[in-house]
A and B are shown apart, each in its own frame.
Chain A
Amino acid sequence: MGYQVQQRGRASIDFLTDLRRCSNRLEADPAIAGINPGAIFDHPQAGTKLDFVSMQTKTLRLLSDSEAFRVLRLCREWMLAAHGRIAMEAFAEMPVALSAELDAAKSGSSTLQYAPDLTLPAYWDGYEFHRSSGGWDGHDYMGFVHGELIHFHMVGRALAGVLHAQRLAAAEAALYDAPERILEMGCASGQFTAALAGTYPNARITALDLSARQLEQALRRGNEQGASWSLLQAAAEQTGLKAAQYDLVCSYAVFHELPRAVAEQVMVEKFRLCKPGGALLMADVKPYSSLSAHEVWNADFWNQVVGGDPHWREYAMTDFIALAESAGFVNVVWQGLGQYHYPYVLTGRKPASH
């Protein structure tokens, strides 16, 4: 679907992109680049308990003397607080006809099943992940606002095409050559769904999410591609779907948004829905065990402490190999992909005899 961001929105996104690029240079300041939270945070083992609050308090005390850090934090927190509002403003100045086009784009070869009686889980309902104003559902066209204006124009431009390549690499990492049926949990606006469809063009894809507005954007994306995706509004931990239906059960960047107890439930649900002999695929951010002490501080501070990712640390300190194995998966491997070891991908199999 064609559209053009108007002058204010375009100039605002230019500003955000350059503010991010220019302020990122401050990370090279010796006070920031040299911060070391101590040996116990060097490759911390998943499943162990470490005093992160004390670590962050101590490093923040050291960094408070750094002008570069103070300015970097000011810029990043401003961007976190402002980006959702700027995206909604950019939508508001777009032609009125766009809303009708977005409504029309919901009709096509893909389907969306809403769940009006769904009780939204407390860890999700009303929380503004990534400090994004309006959250996932706070606007009639929030799927377009997030999937296009934030994901594609703001984040995507700053990362220059890397995002889709990462999703394609993750889709290709599945331990299943030609899955006939794929289930994606937490599909949001359908970015990874599109990567799955591109990688496995003959598969029937079912994708679910809690957000009706994000699912609507996934629906538009599926229709635009002429795909027959079955989209469902459902919680990944309790899908209500029939057991053992899918050759490949997967997710992209979902588990770091879940409390540990829910992550366990989702893994159990993935196992239940997977056919015997089927494959597990979970792509997500890097675990702390793969990072140096400095990288642990960096990821923990900018995501967990100030970034609006309240379960990031729990995710990063969870042993997902053990978690998948305890759900029943075998041959489980967890590794980073490509030159930058990102995303981290967990693969495994449901025993054929199960």
Chain B
Amino acid sequence: MSANRLKPEDIDKLGDALIALTHEVWVLRDRQKVLERLLADAGVLAPDAVQGFQPDDSLNAELGAEREALINNVLRALSA
């Protein structure tokens, strides 16, 4: 099996994908900060509530759909 799954001509697309991924990471970090601030201000969040949380089936499905959209965004750059 070749270790070079991407060819040299893919390098620009890899750069595009890296920036697309950075964009998505930022959008999420922004949202997380907003949520944590809102919840803390409302007295809803205990300090370790996020760290120890386990998602149920419903949240797992929601996370799955959002994860798929995130991956598709990166793949769009790789396959453009």
Contacts and interface: CB of A to CB of B under 8 A. Distances in A.
A78 B19 contact: yes
Contact of B34 (A7, A19, A75, A82): A7
Contacts of B26: 11, 14-15
Interface string A12-30: 1011000100000000000
Q: Quick one: which of A10, A11, A77 has the most chain B CB within 10 A?
A: A11
Interface string B30-62: 110010000000000000000000000000000
A81 interface: yes
| Shortest Cβ-Cβ A-B pairs, 10 listed | A11-B30, A11-B27, A74-B15, A78-B19, A15-B26, A15-B23, A78-B16, A8-B27, A7-B31, A12-B27
A82 B20 contact: yes
A11 B31 CA distance: 8
A12 B23 contact: yes
Interface of A: 7-8, 10-12, 14-15, 19, 74-75, 77-78, 81-82
A74 B80 CA distance: 14
Contacts of A12: 23, 27
B12 interface: yes
B75 to A, nearest CB: 14
B15 to A, nearest CB: 4
A75 B20 CA distance: 10
Nearest to B27: A11
Interface in B13-28: 15-16, 19-20, 22-23, 26-27
7 contacts: A11-B27, A11-B30, A15-B22, A15-B26, A75-B19, A78-B16, A78-B20
B70 to A, nearest CB: 11
Contacts of A11: 26-27, 30-31
Interface of B: 12, 15-16, 19-20, 22-23, 26-27, 30-31, 34, 80
A32 B25 CA distance: 30
User: What does DSSP make chain B's interface, helix, strand, loop or mixed?
Assistant: helix
B34 A74 contact: no
Contact of A14 (B19, B20, B30): B30
Contact of A74 (B16, B23, B27, B30): B16
Nearest to A16: B23
A74 B12 contact: yes
Nearest to B33: A11
Contacts of B31: 7-8, 11
B45 to A, nearest CB: 18
Contacts of A8: 27, 31
Q: Quick one: which of B20, B26, B27 has the most chain A CB within 10 A?
A: B27
Given A7-B31, A7-B34, A74-B12, 6 more contacts: A7-B27, A7-B30, A11-B31, A15-B23, A74-B16, A75-B19
Nearest to A11: B30
Nearest to A79: B19
A296 to B, nearest CB: 26
Contacts of B19: 19, 74-75, 78
A15 B80 CA distance: 21
Nearest to B15: A74
A7 B15 CA distance: 25
Contacts of B16: 74, 77-78, 81
A74 B77 CA distance: 12
Contacts of A81: 16, 80
A15 B27 contact: yes
A333 B23 CA distance: 45
A14 B23 CA distance: 10
Contacts of A75: 19
B51 to A, nearest CB: 23
Nearest to B16: A78
A7 B27 CA distance: 8
A11 to B, nearest CB: 4
Nearest to A78: B19
Nearest to B29: A11
